[in-house]
Amino acid sequence: MKLNTSFFLILPAVIYVLAFAFYPTAEAIYLSFKSPHGGFTLFYYKELFSTFDATKAIINTVIVTVGALALQLTIALIVASILTREFFGKRAFSTIVIIPMGVATVVAAVAFKFIFETSGGYANTILHSLFGLNVNWYQNSLMSLFTVILSDSWKNTPIVTLILLSGMTSIPKELYYAAAIDGAGPIRRFFYITLPNLRRFIGISLILRGVQEFNIFALPLILIGDHPPLLTTLIYNLYQTTFPEVGLALAGATVLVAFILVFIGIVLILSGR
Amino acid sequence: MKRNFFLYIGAIIVGIYFLFPLYVLVLLAFNKPEYTVLTLYPSLFLQAPTLNNLITALQGNAFIDPFMKSLETATLVGLITIALAIPAGYGLSRISRSIAYPILVLLLVTNMMPGIVIGIPIAVDFIKLGLFETVEGLALAQTLITLPLATFILQGTFSAIPRDIEYQARIDGAGLFHRLFSVLLPLAAPGIAAAFLISWMFSWDEFTYAVLLMPYHSTLPVTIYIDVTRGNILAGIAFSLVFTIPVIILTFALQKYLKGEYLAGGLKG
């Protein structure tokens, strides 16, 4: 196969991606600095941070991202460790832990909306019958963000599990046997063999999921609207209220892109590549 | 024995966490409203199950219209995706890895661009182009999400086909397109089907582009969002349940292709 023909075949996909991903992103950044009269302006950014309190939205987004990543990695490590063992009921278990992948984000959000309600709801039914409690899950912004983290982790832990599992199965069994003979217990084996060997896979899941956490949109929109706002729900709100004037929304979008680039940079450095 | 005890405890807790929201959805769909949305503490058990909620919600155009929109969009996304990903995947499998790798990374980076960032300028452009609120426009945008993964799957599929088969066909006088259509495509059929179905499924679930590019008469996810947040709760729940069934079936059918290696993409290097 000549090189030229191959490039000719790849070209349509590359052109498509440039036209539908890179061009609009560049357009978004360009338009966010362009005043209606044509010149350069920082007006939209000043508005964004003074009137619309983008700082709070940024802090909330970081809280959700860090919280959701921590929770997903923890659960995924537990589930993947369980799945590397042989036990009765393993097939059923491995089916159950992959189910959320097949449930649309919107549907997951609907289910969690009825689990966590301002008063009552399914979570409160359990708490009420056991302890006589009734918790308002949205009484402050931290609690609201916590419900978002919990719901998002339900939906997205399976992907992290699958990535970590493919990492765990690639670790040679001999390492564990050798460590066991040298007297290392299961906990030390986990911290000194499993974790170091999983480093790259953890890095991959952090990048993949982290970027998606910054972009998290449908779930908070349905669960909490924009109280408190995340970057995405703030952008969407600005877009809806100011359309067809999109300068403000695009300034928010540019901030989001900047955060994602910084995040990818940090993870790449930390995972040693 | 003691270690297995902890293993089962862990498995049971995780199992409950993963199953409970689905159980809630079933309760909401099949219990009478008195036991679900109309009471402060909804019942945790099925009390006198009924099909009335579903039957009422699914009658008429309120369900059929968004359902057809979703079906058309998802099918079109699948077709556009494989039309772009088959040649790209084949081309990438036939050039050296040092050139193919940067192109795959380029495709995967597009997956990291936020839908809401890309969607807003596209919405403005689509209004000028007359693609706003159309199935074609939405499908073109959603293909961004599906193309990288589909290309990656097909690159793997084509790489696995021995080059000798192709050389043989060439010696027998088959041209490039003849080789592609009558030799390679039949061999790659399982991979192509998987790429199509995964793209179909991603589009079926997609929300961000749908709500930005087709806000008024939209697909099922947007309709569910509007129903649930504007008070038409029982309809939203019924749609959610019907909407989820094809995706769960596809997820299990495609389990083989939803491996960590694929999902991690070319990042593994």
- List CB contacts (< 8 A) between A1 and chain B: 94-95, 166
Interface of A with B in 187-246 (CB under 8 A): 200-201, 204-205, 207-208, 211, 214-215, 217-218, 221-222, 225, 232, 235-236, 239, 244, 246
Percent of chain A exceeding pLDDT 90 equals 49
**Domain B60-268 superfamily per CATH:** MetI-like (1.10.3720.10)
Of A7-11, A64-68, A127-131, which one has max mean pLDDT?
A: A64-68
Q: Does B43 touch chain A (CB under 8 A)?
A: yes
Contact residues, chain A, for B147 at CB < 8 Å: 13, 16-17
pLDDT score, position B168: 84
Q: Which H/E stretch holds residue A196?
A: helix A195-214
Using CB atoms, which residue from A104, A217, A235 is nearest to B244? A104
- pLDDT single digits (tens) A119-148: 888 999 999 989 888 888 998 999 999 999
Q: Please say if the pLDDT value at position A264 is more than 60.
A: yes
Task: Check CB contact of B253 with chain A, cutoff 8 Å.
Answer: no
Average pLDDT over residues B13-35: 90
Q: Is the minimum CB–CB distance between B194 and chain A shorter than 8 Å? A: no
Residue B268 has pLDDT above 50, yes or no: no
Is ipTM beyond 0.90?
A: no
Q: What is the DSSP string of B94-142?
A: TS-HHHHHHHHHHHHHHTTS-HHHHHHHHHHHHHHHT-TT-HHHHHHHH
Distance in angstroms (rounded) separating the CA atoms of residues B25 and B47? 14
Q: Look over chain A and give the mean of its residue pLDDT values, rounded to a whole number.
A: 89
Looking at per-residue pLDDT, the higher value among B89 and A186 belongs to B89
- Scan for tokens 């909804």, then name that residue: B42
Residue in chain A nearest B267 by alpha carbon: A204
Candidates B267, B121, B210; CA nearest to A20 is: B121
Query: CA of A167, closest CA in chain B: separation in Å?
Result: 8
Using the predicted structure, report yes or no on whether residue A272 has a pLDDT greater than 70: no
Axis crossing angle, helix A3-17 with helix B135-159, rounded to the nearest 10: 150
pLDDT value at B46 more than 70: yes
Percent of residues, chain B, with pLDDT higher than 70? 94
How far apart (Å, rounded) are the C-alpha atoms in residues A240 and A257? 20
Residue extents of the structural domains in chain B: 1-50, 60-268
Domains and CATH numbers, chain A: 40-84+91-270 (1.10.3720.10)
Crossing angle, helix A247-270 and helix A231-242, to 10 degrees? Answer: 160
CB B209 within 8 A of CB B132: no
Q: Hey, of A6, A99, A212, A267, which one would you mutate to test binding to chain B, going by the most B CBs within 10 A of its CB?
A: A6
pLDDT score of B51 more than 90: no
Helix (H, G, I), strand (E, B) or coil at A210: helix
CB contact under 8 A, A122 and B44: yes
Confidence of residue A27 (pLDDT cuts 50, 70, 90): very high
Q: Cβ of A265 under 8 Å from any chain B Cβ?
A: no
What's the pLDDT tens digit per position in B206-228? 999 999 999 999 999 999 999 99
**Residue B223 has which token pair?**
């309709």
Could you give the C-alpha distances from A100 to A59, A86, A123, B142, B197, in angstroms and in order? 28, 23, 19, 21, 18
The pairs formed by A56-59 with CB atoms below 8 angstroms and a separation of 24 or more are A56/A228, A56/A229, A57/A228, A57/A229, A57/A230, A57/A231, A57/A233, A57/A234, A57/A252, A58/A231, A58/A255, A58/A259
DSSP one-letter string for A28-84: HHHHHTB-TTSSB--HHHHHHHHTS-HHHHHHHHHHHHHHHHHHHHHHHHHHHHHHH
Tens of pLDDT, residue by residue over B175-197, are 777 877 888 888 888 889 989 98
Give me the mean pLDDT over the A163-182 stretch.
89
A40: β partners: A34
Q: Which of A44-48, A185-189, B2-6 has the highest mean pLDDT?
A: A44-48
pLDDT higher than threshold 70 for residue B137: yes
